[in-house]
Chain A
Amino acid sequence: MMHYAMVINLGKCVGCNACTAACKIDNATGFGVKYGRVVEVETGKFPDVEKLYVPLLCMHCEDPECLKVCPTKATFKTEDGVVLIDRDKCMGCRYCVVACPFMARFFYEDSKRPQGLPRMDKEDERLGTVEKCDLCIDRVKEGQNPVCVDTCPYQARIFGDADDPESEVHKLIQSGRAKTLKEEEGFGASVYYIWW
């Protein structure tokens, strides 16, 4: 079995947002729509302060909350572990936007149309539906990495098949170094993080 997974090494992320920019351009997303983004987490009090950059994207959960609330079954999970949206079935009710614990989903409306970007055929298709990170499934099927993985200047992101014992992601997950977010709340996911 194939199970696509991503491991993000937070010790390598400098918060440059190159992944966010690459994602926005590759997917031609509208203003305010970020399938992937980097959040700043600040802890401590001056002068003893630490800052951590955490890249977020759709976690492609094992048991997705978005899938459970979808009344039209537009959200589905593939055998490869990727959570996708069938645009023809999505009616734009946005239950999933609220249900997602990682705020990874966006409703595409007219005001979010990308300005100044070349108009793409799929743009109108998206209007009135919910969109999110699809793990660049078209690229992955062609044997490439998701665009955020290839763009990262520090190779903070590793992508691969978690079920392949030879893959780097498999080894990192098995070693216990890579952990999912909200693990203690029972969220299984396909995106793992290495905290130093």
Chain B
Amino acid sequence: MELGFNTPSHKIELYSNRLKEWGYDPLPFYREPFESPYSTPELAKKYPFVLTTGRRVSTYFHTAHRNVPALRDIYPEPVVEINEDTARELGISDGDTVRIETAHGFAVMKAKLTQGIHPRVVAAQHDWPGLANDNRLTDNQACAEGIGSTTLRGLLCNIRREG
């Protein structure tokens, strides 16, 4: 067996010859997300916050273990993190049920106020079922060219208190 990674050079390829063969930029590059205050300023007026759905909980592993009673007791509810000062402006308190809306759908979670997040960013947890399912918020068509990964972070959203 040959040593190394499963790449043409058997090394970690920052410069990817495969991507080049397929006609894509062989080096990593930055592009503004499909939706952002800069790429879609009109949409950003309706959805002024940047949403990331990458927030993990160490108690669970992706969708697994949510029905283990001892674990569910540690982390009983889906949580969306929002900056304390932003939440105050929106009239959202810690533990409030909130509705997150994007151009693609909405989800309902519990708000957690923190100073550890940028005032314009909202961080939702992923892999909860039902109305808290973060896949209701994302755009399945917005994929990175060549790679194909979907936009799970860097969406535009609005957030408000439910009811």
Quick check: B69 and A115 within 8 Å, CB to CB? yes
Contact partner of B59 (CB less than 8 A), chosen from A14, A17, A49, is: A17
1/0 contact string of B38-70 vs chain A (CB within 8 Å): 000000000000000000001100000001011
Given contacts A16-B58, A17-B58, A17-B59, contact A42 B116 (CB under 8 A): yes
* Residue among B59, B83, B85, B116 with the highest chain A CB neighbour number at 10 A: B116
Q: Is the interface of A mostly helix, strand, loop or mixed?
A: loop
**Partner-B contacts on A (CB < 8 A):** 14-17, 20-21, 24-25, 31-32, 34, 37, 42, 44-47, 49, 51, 114-117
Q: How many residues of B contact A (CB 8 A)?
A: 17
Q: Ordered nearest first, which 6 A-B pairs have the shortest CB separation?
A: A24-B70, A49-B116, A16-B58, A49-B115, A116-B69, A46-B115
**Bound CA–CA A14/B118 (angstroms):** 22
B114 partner residues in chain A, CB cutoff 8 A: 42, 49
Q: A40's closest neighbor in chain B, by CB?
A: B114
* Residue among B58, B75, B83, B115 with the highest chain A CB neighbour number at 10 A: B115
16 contacts between A and B (CB under 8 A): A16-B58, A16-B59, A17-B58, A21-B70, A24-B69, A24-B70, A25-B70, A34-B73, A37-B74, A42-B114, A42-B115, A42-B116, A46-B117, A46-B118, A117-B69, A117-B70
**Bound CA–CA A16/B74 (angstroms):** 10
A15 partner residues in chain B, CB cutoff 8 A: 58
Contact partner of B83 (CB less than 8 A), chosen from A31, A46, A51, A114, is: A46
Question: Shortest CB–CB separation between residue B60 and chain A, in angstroms?
Answer: 11
* Residue among B58, B67, B118 with the highest chain A CB neighbour number at 10 A: B58
**Partner-A contacts on B (CB < 8 A):** 58-59, 67, 69-71, 73-75, 83, 85, 114-119
Question: Shortest CB–CB separation between residue A46 and chain B, in angstroms?
Answer: 5
Quick check: B71 and A21 within 8 Å, CB to CB? yes
Question: Shortest CB–CB separation between residue B76 and chain A, in angstroms?
Answer: 8
Q: B58's closest neighbor in chain A, by CB?
A: A16
**Bound CA–CA A31/B69 (angstroms):** 8
Given contacts A15-B58, A17-B74, contact A114 B69 (CB under 8 A): yes
B118 partner residues in chain A, CB cutoff 8 A: 46-47
**Bound CA–CA A31/B118 (angstroms):** 34
**Bound CA–CA A46/B87 (angstroms):** 14
**Bound CA–CA A81/B32 (angstroms):** 61
Quick check: A45 and B115 within 8 Å, CB to CB? yes
A34 partner residues in chain B, CB cutoff 8 A: 73-74
Question: Shortest CB–CB separation between residue B74 and chain A, in angstroms?
Answer: 5
Quick check: B74 and A21 within 8 Å, CB to CB? yes
Quick check: A51 and B116 within 8 Å, CB to CB? yes
* Residue among B71, B73, B85, B116 with the highest chain A CB neighbour number at 10 A: B73
Q: B59's closest neighbor in chain A, by CB?
A: A17
